[in-house]
Copies of this chain bind each other. A is one copy, B any other.
Amino acid sequence: MEPPQPNNKKRVGIVGLGLIGGSLGLDLQKQGYEVYGLVRNSAIVDRAKVRGLAQVIDTNPKILKSCSVIILALPLSQIIKPPKELVTSIPLNAVVTDVGSVKTPVLKVWEKLHPKFIASHPMAGTNEAGIDAGKHDLFKGRPWVATPNEDTDHASLEVIHKLVLSLGSKWITTNSQKHDEAVALISHLPVLVSAALLHTTSQKEEKNSEATLAKLLASTGFLDTTRVGGGNPNLGLDMAMNNTEAILDVVNLYKASLEKLERMLYEKKWDMLSDELSHAQSIRSHFINT
């Protein structure tokens, strides 16, 4: 599909200019949108201006009054409990979307707050955060999931669809429960699995001195496996608090998978273990080739 021509007159308000909001600001301006950025802290206004994250940057929510599209690029916890003055500054005729990593609780809150709300989630990121993290082309080629329900306004969905395509993202729609179960599996479970691996090295350190040697020997494999578990704790906490049931469900499946491998070592079932490791290799290749 051809990316649609952006509407040059469209004014987009971005709430929060961190990694996601800042990247959106850079790319949307490049696509011809007029971008207004709302930040919480006056100390970062100048830095955001120097970086050119938006044409207008302010700490006053009133700047949203003239925007026809508003993107909530806040941490999940703030999207779910939005400040009252933010909500009252959003014009009723604006199309509003968010970028939170869990969709059911967001939809539950915002479908009551705004008639033209579209719950969405760009599957893109880096390890960076803050006003200096935003970068061009962060969303290019990455999935951007929207989770409409029966009450969703179709014209508003189409507005976000067009905006997302202009960023070069792959548009996917599903329901919020399916989205939340999928991210529990491929995004939230890895955080816990990986954090537990870091904790294990620390427990071992308390027991004896091999962990010091382990630190000297740790290679790229260890660093890759622990990257998401050693990431921003606030992101991990937000996921855990807002997608608890789906995460607990996959943690249970995970423990069974790990115990199956453990039993093969314990019982020295080497042929079975070999098959399971080959299976793991094959599963991953499907993820890469999708």
Chain A residues within CB distance 8 Å of chain B: 123-125, 142-143, 145, 170, 172, 174, 178-179, 181-183, 185-187, 189-204, 210-211, 213-234, 236-237, 240-241, 244, 247-248, 250-251, 253-262, 264-266, 268, 270, 273-274, 276-281, 283-288, 290
Contacts and interface: CB of A to CB of B under 8 A. Distances in A.
Contacts of A234: 274
A185 B258 CA distance: 15
Interface of A is mostly: helix
Total identical chains: 2
B222 A225 contact: no
A236 to B, nearest CB: 4
Contacts of A211: 182, 185
Identify the interface centre among A196, A211, A248, A273: most chain B CB within 10 Å of its CB. A196
Contact of A218 (B214, B265, B287): B287
Contact of A230 (B213, B250, B285): B285
Nearest to A287: B218
A226 B280 CA distance: 9
A35 to B, nearest CB: 25
Contacts of A145: 217
A190 B182 contact: no
A270 to B, nearest CB: 6
